[in-house]
Structure 1
Amino acid sequence: MHVNVNGNPFYFFKHRMPFEDVTAIKFVGDVAIEAINIAESIPYVKRIYGGLKVGMHLYFRGVVHRKINRFHINLQYGQQRGLKALHFNPRFRPSQVVVLNSFRNGRWDLEERVHEMPFCKGESFEILFIVTAKGYQVNVNGRPFYTFKHRMPVKTVNAIKIAGDVSIETINITGKIPHVGLIYGGLRTGTYMYFRGTIPHKIARFHINLNLGELKGCDKALHFNPRFKPSEVVVFNSFRNGRWDREERVNKMPFRRGEDFELLFIVTAHGFQYVHCTCV
């Protein structure tokens, strides 16, 4: 995998186990994460590890197809068909309308409709869901669009599903550290993983693991571990069969205390390219 930090190539970590089996990302340590982006295909289904909480933000960036009929984003209970706390559904045919609804007890609830269409055929968009105590605040392209009041408990929402005539470039779920997110369907060659965050002034270390599973002690295809104490070093490793493999160390520290950073992992056929995205 190629690893870039702040726009610059930093390190190449060769595969030690099948990257297709990587199903989760885990963040731990002294770092604040603002954005996690993984390029995904449609239809897209992703588990929200630990469920939604008031104060969380869900950000989506993509492109509306020129020959669009409709698309939808569901905040739901489970990754299969079932309860949907929010069904956000822009429709272009037979007329342009945005439908918001929920689904429970085997049937749809009362629709809420907005006849202002904030999306344009063939153009890019940004959607932000803000989870508040009263409902889901939906912003489109940086402007408030609609507030959908809660009909079901927020904490039981544990999955996102996106389907329809759109392409998705970015999905961010901002939460707290430690953070565990699932990679639905595993990694693929060409997949990139983008992270943006802040290094605190009083940092000891943090790590990002690409795991083969969610449980403690599971195999780790990549353990990316910048350490500031007792000396500055970035450690790369993998963990399998209950033990750590041989460490690979880089004595050049690309992160700086108190500064923002961007980090990009690119999956290649031969390894993980860690792209050195400098502090921003």
Structure 2
Amino acid sequence: MAFVPAPGYQPAFNPPVPYTTIIAGGLRVGMVVCVQATLPNKYNRFGINFATGQEETSDIAFHFNARYDGRDRVVFNSKQSEVWGDEEMKREMPFKSGKVFFIMFEVTRNNYQVFANGAPFYEFGHRIPLERVNWLQVNGDIAVQELSIIGNGPGVKGGLVLSAAQADLLPMLGPPVVNAPVPFSTNIRGGMIPKRTVVVKGIVKPKAKSFAINLKVGFNNEIALHLNPRFNKKSVVRNSFVNGTWGEEETEATKFPFKEGDYFDISFRSGEKHIKVYVNGSHCFNYSHRVCNLQQVDKVEVEGDVNIVYVFV
């Protein structure tokens, strides 16, 4: 059962490199781009480009280039009319061999804010207007596990074409909440009605015992879905708390998809009869509704041994 992303959310799991994709609707303030990756056995450099087209001659609004040549550094630049601009540089390399790393780009009115493994890393001021930036390119010596383009609303330009499956889904409104402290809580505008999607990306803490994600009824704290991975038993417990009582636990799953110290991506997709849960792009299980009024399920909570990368509703 393949995961179909809702409008406003563009994930790609294990894409081949070089990888080029259109930014659906174009780049806008408030959008976030996340790259989870490792280095291959042999590596020299890799690049991530925010570009105006997919051709080699296209202008590049932001060129992010990690270089490993004995003087490890990250170079930042732009290219217009096939001429590179003034190079900016940071002599620090947080993207190490043998370890999964995470790069996040947050688009603001003034710059691209770059985060490395959750920590602020660099700010690159706009040299090319955002409305011209429509493509994302990844190349070089990098093995991408996940790349996600996260929008800040349903607004699009240029006659964006959606697949029939996507057009049937509610758009994700955003903006995403990034690097939030745990415990965490935010509202689901309009509630967890059918065709609504909630995405939680995080990293499991070392020596984790458990964490939980709750889809709740805000006004009375009933829990429509309690998702609780437990590392001692390698089980994903699901339950509901309704009318002051916990229901019957569900634990069936083909495998335990979480590891201590690893990143994860969980998507909750509400349907008429159940919530479909996907982990790292793969369908994990369905959970039948135990709260009837889905519009009242208007809050998502995260707690336990986990750090949040982003929550997107």
| TM-score with structure 2 setting the length | 0.53
> Which string of whole-angstrom CA distances, capped at 9 and with x for unpartnered residues, describes residues 103-146 of structure 1?
00221111001111111122211000000111100100011110
Could you say if the C-alpha distance between residues 202 and 75 of structure 1 is closer, same or farther in structure 2, counting changes exceeding 3 Å? Answer: same
C-alpha distance in structure 2 between counterparts of 1:80 and 1:60, whole Å:
22
SS in 1 for 2:274: coil
Could you say if the C-alpha distance between residues 122 and 264 of structure 1 is closer, same or farther in structure 2, counting changes exceeding 3 Å? Answer: closer
Match for 2:195 among 200, 206, 209?
A: 206
SS in 1 for 2:131: helix
* Match runs of 1:79-228 below 5 Å: 79-81=54-56, 82-175=58-151, 176-177=153-154, 200-202=189-191, 204-206=193-195
Could you say if the C-alpha distance between residues 136 and 265 of structure 1 is closer, same or farther in structure 2, counting changes exceeding 3 Å? Answer: closer
SS in 1 for 2:55: coil
Cα pair 2:5 2:11 within 8 Å, conserved: no
Query: What is the root-mean-square deviation of aligned Cα atoms in Å?
Result: 3.3
Q: Which residue of 1 aligns with 2:285?
A: 276
Highest RCO, 1 vs 2 (Cα 8 Å, sep ≥ 6): 1
Q: Which residue of 1 aligns with 2:275?
A: 254
C-alpha distance in structure 1 between counterparts of 2:284 and 2:50, whole Å:
32
Larger strand percent: 1
Could you say if the C-alpha distance between residues 264 and 87 of structure 1 is closer, same or farther in structure 2, counting changes exceeding 3 Å? Answer: closer
Cα distance, 1:39 vs structure 2: 2.7
Could you say if the C-alpha distance between residues 143 and 253 of structure 1 is closer, same or farther in structure 2, counting changes exceeding 3 Å? Answer: same
Structure 1 vs Structure 2: percent identity of aligned residues?
32
C-alpha distance in structure 2 between counterparts of 1:128 and 1:277, whole Å:
30
Alignment: residue pair count: 190
C-alpha distance in structure 2 between counterparts of 1:85 and 1:165, whole Å:
21
Cα pair 1:48 1:182 within 8 Å, conserved: no
Cα pair 2:49 2:60 within 8 Å, conserved: yes
* Match runs of 1:33-52 below 5 Å: 36-52=11-27
Cα pair 1:26 1:181 within 8 Å, conserved: no
| TM-score with structure 1 setting the length | 0.58
> Which string of whole-angstrom CA distances, capped at 9 and with x for unpartnered residues, describes residues 204-251 of structure 1?
54289xxxxxxxxxxxxxxxxxxxxxxxxxxxxxxxxxxxxxxxxx97
Could you say if the C-alpha distance between residues 124 and 203 of structure 1 is closer, same or farther in structure 2, counting changes exceeding 3 Å? Answer: closer
1:58 aligns with 2:33: yes
Could you say if the C-alpha distance between residues 107 and 275 of structure 1 is closer, same or farther in structure 2, counting changes exceeding 3 Å? Answer: same
SS in 1 for 2:29: coil
C-alpha distance in structure 2 between counterparts of 1:92 and 1:131, whole Å:
26
Q: Which residue of 2 aligns with 1:27?
A: 6
SS in 2 for 1:27: coil
Amino acid at match of 1:112: E
Could you say if the C-alpha distance between residues 277 and 181 of structure 1 is closer, same or farther in structure 2, counting changes exceeding 3 Å? Answer: farther
Could you say if the C-alpha distance between residues 181 and 62 of structure 1 is closer, same or farther in structure 2, counting changes exceeding 3 Å? Answer: farther
> Which string of whole-angstrom CA distances, capped at 9 and with x for unpartnered residues, describes residues 162-193 of structure 1?
0111100111111124786889xxxxxxxxxx
C-alpha distance in structure 2 between counterparts of 1:109 and 1:76, whole Å:
14
